[in-house]
Structure 1
Amino acid sequence: MHVSRFSISVEKELLDKLDDITTGLNFPNRSRTIRHLIQKASVQKSHAENKVMAGAVILIYNHHQRDLQAHSTDIQHQFHHLILSVQHVHLDHNNCLETIAVKGKADELDKLAHSLISLKGIQYGTLAITGSL
C-alpha cells in the first residue's frame, strides 16, 4: 500500500478532539485515527447510497420467550437471499446471542434488521455494517 503524506490545519479544540479519539480508540497515532474516520464516513455514505454491503445483525434475547424462535426463523426465511450464515450462542440458562452474517443492498439489510430487532423478546439488537462491496 502506497502512503501519501499531507498536512492539514485545524483549530486547537478540534485537534484536542482528534487526540481524545486517538487515545480513546487506542490508536498509535493521529494518522491511524484519520484513516479510521475516513473509512467510517465512507461506509456511512455507501449505506446512504443503498449500495451492496456486508455486515452482521446481532441479537440478544431470552430463548424462553414464547414463539420468538419461530418468528425469527420465519423472518430469516423471508430474507434468505441476504443471509450468509447464522451463529447461535448460549450466554447463560436464559439468554442467547445470535450473529447473522449478511450481504445485500443497504435498505434490505435495514429491513431485515428492523424486522428482527422489533420482535417481542429481543433484549438488544443492532446492524453492524462493515463496508460496501
Structure 2
Amino acid sequence: MNVEKISVALNKRTLKRLEDRAKLEGVSRSRLVEIALVDYLDEFSDDNSNVLGILNLVYDDTAGNEIIATEHQFESLIISTLHIHVDDKNCMEAVALRGRRADLENLVKSLTQIHGVKKAKLMISLEVSR
C-alpha cells in the first residue's frame, strides 16, 4: 500500500481516547485515524459523485402513503427498504440507496417536507463507480 506519513497534534484527552479505541478495535492508531478521516471526507463528497448510503427514516404512521408515493418518485435510487413498526403510531425505515449524491439529498429533502416525518438522516457509506 502506498502511504504518506503525517504528523498530528492532539490534546492528551483526545490521544487517550484514540489509544483506548485503537486497543479495543485491535488496530493501530494510524489505521483508526485513516478510518475516521475517510468516513468524515465521504460526508462531503462531490454532489455529482455516485455513492452508496443508508437513509434512516422515522415517521408517524399517518405519513405512510405520502412517503410511499415519494419513494416511488425516486425508485431508481432505492436498492432495498426495511420497514419496522416501532409501536402503534410510529414506523422506522432503513432505506439502502445508490446514485448521485445530489439525487439522494433531493430524496431526503422531499421526505423531510412530509408532515409526520420525525427524522430523515442520510449516512453516505462510500463513493462507487457506476
TM-score band w.r.t. shorter chain: 0.7 to 0.9
Structure 1 vs Structure 2 CA RMSD: 2.5
Identify the residue that residue 10 of structure 1 maps to in structure 2.
8
Report the Cα distance in structure 2 between the residues aligned to 1:100 and 1:121, rounded to whole angstroms.
18
Report the Cα distance in structure 2 between the residues aligned to 1:92 and 1:49, rounded to whole angstroms.
36
Alpha carbons of structure 1 residues 38 and 10: separation in structure 2 relative to 1, 3 Å: closer
1:103 aligns to 2:113 (yes or no): no
Paired AA for residue 57 in structure 1:
L
Paired AA for residue 35 in structure 1:
E
Consecutive unaligned residues in structure 1, runs of 5 or more? none
Alpha carbons of structure 1 residues 17 and 77: separation in structure 2 relative to 1, 3 Å: same
CA drift of 1:42 comes to 4.1
Alpha carbons of structure 1 residues 3 and 19: separation in structure 2 relative to 1, 3 Å: farther
Paired AA for residue 107 in structure 1:
A
Paired AA for residue 105 in structure 2:
D
| TM-score normalised according to structure 1 size | 0.78
Tell me the percent identity.
25
Paired AA for residue 14 in structure 2:
K
| TM-score normalised according to structure 2 size | 0.79
Give the aligned length. 126
1:20 aligns to 2:4 (yes or no): no
Identify the residue that residue 71 of structure 1 maps to in structure 2.
66
Alpha carbons of structure 1 residues 69 and 132: separation in structure 2 relative to 1, 3 Å: same
Identify the residue that residue 52 of structure 2 maps to in structure 1.
54
**Matched residue SS, 1:9:** coil
Consecutive unaligned residues in structure 2, runs of 5 or more? none
Report the Cα distance in structure 1 between the residues aligned to 2:112 and 2:18, rounded to whole angstroms.
30
